[in-house]
Structure 1
Amino acid sequence: MIQTTTLLTITLMALVTYLTRVLGYVVLRDRTLSARTTAVLDAAPGCVLIAVIAPAFVSDRPADLIALAVTLAAATRLPLLATVVVGVTAAGLLRQLLG
């Protein structure tokens, strides 16, 4: 069973992530951005994702290492959102199965 604090943490993290994305569009809506700035803003979500999964590279848990391999394989074939779903699902299932 999921703990209340865990659910609250996940909910607040999702809200903060959503708000930062929306506020970025609101603040920049009337500005003309250069191609370079647009490229940086488009790359930012990928950078955040890498920062989140990077600790798995040094994990000693087999479930995390296998989930990382599954996520990397998915990233070569799927778009970002699908890759995130595959990675989270793989990590959850493998942690349940392998501990």
Structure 2
Amino acid sequence: MEEILSQNKAINLDYVTDLTSDSPSTSDSENSNNKENYKTDEPQKKKRKSTEIEDISGLIAAMGESRDRFYEKKLDLEEQRLRAENEKIKLELEMLKFYKNNE
């Protein structure tokens, strides 16, 4: 088996276990170390997740504010366009009155 595995360089022999042996793959001391490491990593993971959630919620809030500003700006531009159109119509009406009076 080792001969076959040694031919394949992509396989790390340190992680290959013999399935025929009755011994566990990790020792009890390794298991206890892993549990301790897991316990110490747990608060960091929770803190990291809460920070990520705060970052995401902040991003969503910023996007909402940007969207609101976008629509406000769009409404302002539409209002300006309508006022300009209204002024144009008023001027055309005055021109028609002027031409009618001068006939």
Instruction: Give the TM-score, by structure 2 length.
Output: 0.28
Report the structure number with the largest CA radius of gyration. 2
Instruction: Give the TM-score, by structure 1 length.
Output: 0.29
User: Looking at both structures, which has the greater relative contact order when contacts are Cα pairs under 8 Å and sequence separation is at least 6?
Assistant: 1
